[in-house]
Chains A and B, each alone.
Chain A
Amino acid sequence: MALSKIIAEGVDLTDDFAFTGTVTGAGAPFIYFEAQLTSDQSIPNNSTTTLAFNNVITDTASAYTSGTYRYTPTTAGYWLMQGRMMFTSATIISGRHYFKNVSIQKNGSTVRDYTHPKETSNTDSSISSDVTAIVYANGTTDYFTIGHYHYDYGNQASITAEADGRRTYFTGYYLGA
């Protein structure tokens, strides 16, 4: 539709429009995904461990590989990524001192992380970690995973991520080029 025609006659925004060409300047496409755990995951002490998000809740671009827990964006640009996890209460022992670090991994390396300790004075029986960041993807080979590291200063024990989609998930949203 010629621009002059739009100006001359106006556009009825309640009408349907079937564009067959490329529309630019209309905002970013709506691309997003979310994956969760299907079962609790044991995480060894002192190893940065990939969270096994193998339950794909939504994936508008079919870009998530549940077998490797990777999201490989097929659109280049900036993405908002978030990973969050809750530990089951049975594995967080009151009075123990933990160091915890959750990270967004790009191509297997940490690009953003968040660190927090669980002090011995904290007697809560559960604790969560989350990380959110804007990251760039080339739209072809770059992939993202969520990693988690913890160090138990008491027993050097493993901990368990809770498979509850309300609290443990990996999600991302395309922001734009």
Chain B
Amino acid sequence: MNLTEKIISIYPELADYDWVNAMMNDIILLRDDANGEGEYISVWNHPTLAQPTQEQLDAVGGE
């Protein structure tokens, strides 16, 4: 399960979210620095939903 899928598991209302618009406008930006640490939330400026905690992300499943 990738990071986007984990976020959608936490917030099902984001299943049809415009992720491209979110990336282009710095609303939600996910990153992977190719250092073996995997994906992470770099920017979270969603107007109504709180940024998921690491505990929430860990709880919704592994890779």
A interface residue numbers (CB < 8 A to B): 41, 43-52, 68-69, 99, 101, 115, 147, 149, 151, 156, 158
Contact = CB atoms under 8 A, between A and B. Distances in A.
Contacts, number: 53
A48 B2 contact: no
B7 to A, nearest CB: 9
Nearest to B31: A48
Residues of B in contact with A, size category: 10 to 19
Contact of A45 (B2, B31, B35): B2
Contacts of A156: 2, 4-5
Contact of B23 (A46, A50, A69): A46
A177 to B, nearest CB: 30
Interface string B1-13: 0111100000000
Contact of A51 (B3, B4, B19, B34): B34
A52 B5 CA distance: 24
A54 B42 CA distance: 23
B54 to A, nearest CB: 16
Main secondary structure of the interface of B (DSSP, over half): mixed
Interface in B8-62: 19-20, 23-24, 29-35, 39, 42
Given A46-B3, A46-B19, A49-B34, 8 more contacts: A46-B2, A46-B4, A48-B30, A48-B42, A49-B31, A49-B32, A99-B20, A156-B5
A12 to B, nearest CB: 53
A42 to B, nearest CB: 10
